[in-house]
Chains A and B, each alone.
Chain A
Amino acid sequence: MTTSIPPEVDLGALPALPRDDAGPVFSAPWEAQAFAMTLSLHARGVFTWREWADVLAAELAAASARGEPDDGTHYYVHWLAALEKLVAGKKLILGNELERRVDEWDAAARSTPHGKPIELPRRG
């Protein structure tokens, strides 16, 4: 498609572009984790890539509607939220299972001395 600028657009009001010169692919390990979980679940056929793109697009649109500045640095926050929604929608994780697990990891992290790997207590 070819685009031209509609006359009513005030170009001066457009936000500036963030820049990076071949910056890091992931800015924290959890971003890579969220990314890889998504690819992995897709590879198992849990959802189609179209389904994923739709959920992610909705998540990004909602963030933008809330007026959050979106300079790309929060991208994986929205990615992870989208993955949580898709996984819940597919009933792979039920009810408050995820919230309970978050609390367990939170408790484990707080009780782990500095420098030791954080692990969940064994159950049963």
Chain B
Amino acid sequence: MSDHHGDDHAREHDRPLSGPALRARALESLLVEKGLVDPKALDELIDTYQTKVGPRNGAKIVARAWTDPAFKKRLLSDATAAIAEFGFIGRQGEDMVVLENTPKVRNVVVCTLCSCYPWPVLGLPPVWYKSAPYRARAVIDPRGVLKELGSEVPEDVELRVWDSTAELRYLVLPERPAGTEGWSEDELAAIVTRDAMIGVAQVKLPARGKR
């Protein structure tokens, strides 16, 4: 599996249905026949997760917390309720916890067992989040993992690693970068990245003039 990225679509056309695609098709046709899933509902779900839900939801929450101290307080004390104010509600009935980064403490989120992830606010997880190396190493060697992901953490900053579960999902509230005083919520949301909300990166100011 070296060339996983570009040409899946082209290959789909080259070979008949096979492997997991064949099994998924067979399973779906059986479940539809038994009235257990509705193909229209499946399409809707896929569309929602592919195009509508993404890290932008989380970015809006972070930007609001940066600009509205009362919201931030609610977010840190009862994240599930505060996030529901935006209409982002977990389908799995999970509770959300928001972890605040400070100059002295940085939080990193992982799911060591599978890949529990706050879908309603971040969409679906990136491929590295689901990988065994990340799942295992984030706990053993968080500093090394962050360094590899491009974010070196000074020795005097404490790193806290949080293991997600089916019932509990975490979102990191990154530090607001200096130089963003007076920015609007929308402008702030635009610079918040998915990786910053997983905790493996910090929010950086875009290059000059991009604002």
Query: Which A residues have a C-beta under 8 Å from some C-beta of B?
Result: 1-3, 5-6, 9, 11, 14-20, 22-37, 39-44, 46, 48-50, 52-54, 56-57, 60-61, 64, 70-77, 80, 83-84, 87, 92-93, 97-98, 101-102, 104-106, 109-110, 112, 114-115, 118, 120
Contact = CB atoms under 8 A, between A and B. Distances in A.
A32 B12 CA distance: 15
B45 A40 contact: yes
Given A18-B131, A28-B12, A72-B130, A102 B36 contact: no
Q: What 8 A-B pairs are tightest by C-beta distance, nearest first?
A: A72-B131, A70-B132, A53-B166, A109-B17, A57-B113, A109-B16, A49-B92, A72-B127
Interface string B1-44: 10011001000110011101111111111110010111001110
Given A18-B131, A36-B46, A118-B17, A3 B28 contact: no
A49 B17 contact: no
A33 B25 contact: yes
Main secondary structure of the interface of B (DSSP, over half): helix
Interface stretch (B58-66, B72-80, B141-149, B179-187): B141-149
A72 B45 contact: no
Nearest to B8: A28
A28 B161 CA distance: 32
Contacts of A71: 1, 127, 131-133
A98 to B, nearest CB: 6
Given A49-B166, A80-B27, 19 more contacts: A5-B141, A17-B133, A17-B148, A19-B149, A23-B5, A25-B49, A25-B123, A25-B124, A30-B24, A33-B42, A36-B49, A37-B31, A60-B113, A72-B131, A72-B132, A87-B31, A98-B26, A105-B29, A106-B22
